[in-house]
Amino acid sequence: MDKWIPIIAAALSFGVTAILGFVVIPFLKKLNFGQTILEIGPKWHKQKEGTPTMGGIMIAIGLVVGLVIACVTAVIAKTELALQLKERVHFLRLLAGVLMAFLMGMIGFLDDYIKVVKKRNLGLTARQKTFFQLLVSAAYLATLAFSGMTTTNIPFVGSVAIDRGFGLIFWPIALMFIYGFTNAVNLTDGLDGLASSVTLVVACTFMLAAGKLRLLGINTLAAALAGACVGFIVWNAKPAKLFMGDTGSMFIGGMVVALSFGIDRPILLILAGCLYFIEAISVMLQVAYFKKTKKRLFKMAPLHHHFEMSGWSEEKIVLLFSGIALVGCILSLLPIYLFNS
């Protein structure tokens, strides 16, 4: 029965997310919750002006429905997952990960709300967003520590103590790690179907990793995220009828971080989430290069816009970037599948 639990989670998440589109899109249109396209973006993006945003709500709802029903099914069937959920460390890591992602999504929702309703194109200020994100990240790490997390696993090295001595440096690094990757996913959300497609690849990777490690709660959570991403792509593939907004990108950003901590190998997200990392680095390089030379290193940042400005179609960019993500994800699985590390 255990092998069916993640399938149930993925199928339900997909179904709920996809079906919600029939309700959420008309509702958002009725409220005039349409995307505002910044003048600094590609001129042809102006035709996307008014497309409903905040669609990330569908991803969050679909994921939770799929996850909860799958877990309840596991408990009723008395599977191995049910036994793991009775252990404090497994239950708290699963619950804390979902709550952290939801809170990140709420920050994104507030940002979207200010942009759409208050007509302030930039939403929350950088300071406000940073403060809230760091607060949520710190609360999540505190919960992990409370759950009994005293080590972290580094491939080819093994478990490293993080509750004493030099190992304590893990916590401030982890804080910036969560903050950085959440925002990196946010930066990746710039083309129809891009963030959801890349995240689908990443979610499937963590599903495989958690399955191999017999961490069945995280395995089920990753499956639910994958299903929700597919359900959202139904509406977000070009031409997009709905955008996830910061609500969605920050939710899935928090979710992929939670998956990496859930398998006790956050360092693997550097490979599995390499595409997010590349997008964030492109922005930092662009800013640094412009400050120094007053010239642009890329035609536009994040990197997907550089390819777009170079004449690539959105579909081609999504395919390329998803392929890059897949390569990074395969490399991230090698230590687990080949070396049990």
Q: What is the pLDDT of residue 49?
A: 67
In the predicted model, is pLDDT for residue 171 greater than 90? yes
Q: Decide which of 123 and 291 is more confident.
A: 291
Mean pLDDT of 144-166: 90
Contact 253, 108 (CB under 8 A): no
R_g (Cα) of the chain, nearest Å = 20
Contact 161, 150 (CB under 8 A): yes
Report phi then psi at 210, rounded to 5: -65, -35
Q: What is the pLDDT of residue 120?
A: 61
Which tens digit of pLDDT belongs to each residue from 172-201?
999 999 999 999 999 999 899 999 999 999
In the predicted model, is pLDDT for residue 300 greater than 80? yes
Q: What is the pLDDT of residue 317?
A: 96
In the predicted model, is pLDDT for residue 306 greater than 90? yes
**For residue 175, what are its two tokens?**
């804080």
Q: Decide which of 2 and 44 is more confident.
A: 2
Task: Sort 319 into a burial class: Cβ within 10 Å, 0-12 / 13-18 / 19+.
Answer: middle
